[in-house]
Amino acid sequence: MAAGAASRLAHLALPLLQRLPPETAHALGLRALKLLARGWAAPPVPATLAVQALGLRFAHPVGLAAGFDKDGDYLDALGALGFSHVEIGTVTPRPQPGNPRPRLFRLRGAGALINRMGFNNRGADYVAARVAGAGYRGIRGLSIGKNADTPLERAADDYLACLRTLYAVADYFAINVSSPNTQGLRALQGSDALAGIVEPLQEERERLAARHGKRVPLLVKISPDLDDAALRAMAAAVRSHALDGVIATNTSTQVDGFERELAKSRGGGISGAPLRTRALEVLRLLRVELGGAIPIIGVGGLMSADDVRTRLAAGASLVQLYTGFVYRGPALLHECLRDLH
Ligand SMILES: Cc1cc2nc3c(=O)[nH]c(=O)nc-3n(C[C@H](O)[C@H](O)[C@H](O)COP(=O)(O)O)c2cc1C
């Protein structure tokens, strides 16, 4: 059966992959998964785990966070592992190489990663074709961003270009204004700057909804490094712009105790266990500010089934894995699903 086979193979392969440079390991792991997963089907889950959110039906709450499958090349393989949703991207209108290597670092003892990838991706046209060609039956999130060489004051054009190119293949959009690895991007979380992105996106979405006969939800993905006042302002903006949901959180540039590691990697964002506490705090604060009506996807430091249960209990409608999945492989997803039964 797919689930068992994937876990056993990963159990054998992970220690070997983890001896390689992290980006090489990531690319090799994905290629191996793609070869092996042919013919696998996602493991069945009881209908009681299904989540109705964003006007969509998710088979269960656990998905894969953005940045793992940047170009939509591995959707079918990742779907065969059993994720209810995969957030593809972050995609920019034009292809770009991202930051120079090395740009991904393991902090194994801390259960963490530091990355300063910088939106390496093949561009919106390529991704639209890959996603259209995939057989994956789960929910397809599309994370959208701006090219590194687009000036910040023209950022809205890039988000709009991605929206148009990817609309037909997306089940939801994540407006990524929280990556620390594109200069100035996080400034787009400020109220005026955010309005300058979100308002044109909303207008364009209405036009595209009429043309395509489907209204694709727009979510915003936020940084854990916003202080509480900025989080409250963000929640107010989410309400006033009638955004459909929030994804909390992206990586952090300021986790106490990791200053030396961040200096050594020359910047980047931390993910994994050290992010757990702040990501949970952010979720709790947003839940209070937003009430129950606006779904929040909880991400950041989910390393065990226990973490997932806590995040759902704190008000996340859905959750996403990244660093936990890098260290533990498909066994983590299956542990989470068993635990939720
Ligand atoms: C190597 C790497 C690349 C990432 N790329 C993206 C990205 O392109 N877009 C995005 O929104 N988040 C990206 N993220 C952030 C993750 O989606 C997630 O929000 C973050 O890692 C926290 O979750 P975790 O602690 O489970 O890893 C990336 C994370 C890593 C480690």
For residue 178, the ligand 1 atom closest to its alpha carbon is: 11
pLDDT of residue 8: 76
Q: Name the residue of 122, 322, 325, 328 whose CB sits within 8 Å of the most ligand 1 atoms, as the mutation to test its pocket.
A: 322
Q: Which residue has the tokens 């915003």?
A: 220
Cβ-contact 32, 78 below 8 angstroms: no
For residue 176, the ligand 1 atom closest to its alpha carbon is: 11
pLDDT of residue 204: 98
Q: What is the pLDDT of residues 48-58, one digit of tens each?
A: 999 999 999 99
- Catalytic residues, which ones? 179
pLDDT of residue 16: 86
Kindly give the residue spans of alpha helices, DSSP state H, lying in the chain.
2-17, 22-36, 75-81, 124-133, 155-166, 191-212, 228-240, 259-264, 276-290, 305-313, 323-328, 330-340
Distance 237 CA to ligand 1 centre (A): 23
Give mean pLDDT, residues 205-218.
Answer: 98
What is the token pair recorded at 158?
């890039």
Question: Whose CA is closest to atom 13 on ligand 1?
Answer: 67
Which amino acid, residue 53?
Answer: A
Over 70: is that where the pLDDT of 2 sits?
no
Give mean pLDDT, residues 11-17.
Answer: 84
Q: How confident is the model at residue 1 (pLDDT cuts 50, 70, 90)?
A: low
Distance 130 CA to ligand 1 centre (A): 21
Distance 251 CA to ligand 1 centre (A): 6
Cβ-contact 138, 170 below 8 angstroms: no
Q: How confident is the model at residue 11 (pLDDT cuts 50, 70, 90)?
A: confident
What is the token pair recorded at 332?
């983590």
> What is the CB < 6 Å shell around ligand 1?
65-67, 89-90, 104, 113, 115, 117, 119, 143, 176, 179, 221, 250-251, 271-272, 275, 299-302, 321-324
